[in-house]
Amino acid sequence: MVAAFYLSVPDRSRFWTFLPLPPLALWLGSSGYQCYRNWIEFGPQGWRLGRSGDCFIFILTMSIPVALALYWVLRRAVPLDVTRVLMIGGLGVAALSAATLQFYHPFDVTVIDLAIHVIAVGIVIAVTTMVGRRRLARPFHALRRFPASR
């Protein structure tokens, strides 16, 4: 979410877009390793859906208050590229929710469970981008002008 804040300031570098990539790679790599280990131990039984639906609901519901807080902070921002800011912000929101899930996750990650997590993260990013684009995208002439301080 830090990258979203920096991207919402017009004079910041676009390289802030790449800030979430190392944690994303770490999350997918560590979860992928757990999936591989679980597949070796349990074989085809690791492909069952099981309680992955609970993870899906947790990520989505946990993302709602965090996304609202992100919108509340960014509502006065005037980003040049609204879509990029919202996608990175949505990724940060979903990542925070997925990281919180790890404290309550009742079992090792399976292939299906990881796919459900990725789908939930994708939905959070898409909804955050679609809903926020209408709210944050406004023409520059419509912005309120603040009186100069004396």
7 part of a folded domain:
no
144 part of a folded domain:
no
CA distance 73 to 35: 37
150 part of a folded domain:
no
Q: What tens digit of pLDDT does each residue of 59-71 get?
A: 899 999 998 888 8
Q: Does 23 score more than 90 pLDDT?
A: no
**What pLDDT sits at residue 126?**
92
**Residue percentage of the chain with pLDDT more than 90:** 7
CA angle 31, 34, 40 (to 5 degrees): 145
Q: Would you say 55 and 113 are in contact if contact means Cβ atoms under 8 Å apart?
A: yes
**What pLDDT sits at residue 46?**
58
Write phi, then psi, for 108 (nearest 5 degrees).
Answer: -65, 155
Tokens 């990013």 belong to residue: 125
Q: Which domain holds residue 58?
A: 20-137
pTM value? 0.73
Q: What tens digit of pLDDT does each residue of 71-81 get?
A: 888 877 767 77
Mean of per-residue pLDDT scores for the chain = 77
Q: What tens digit of pLDDT does each residue of 101-150 get?
A: 878 776 667 777 788 888 999 999 999 888 887 766 655 444 455 555 54
Phi-psi sector, 32: left (phi>0), alpha (psi -120 to 50), beta: alpha
54 part of a folded domain:
yes
1 part of a folded domain:
no
Number of structural domains found in the chain: 1
12 part of a folded domain:
no
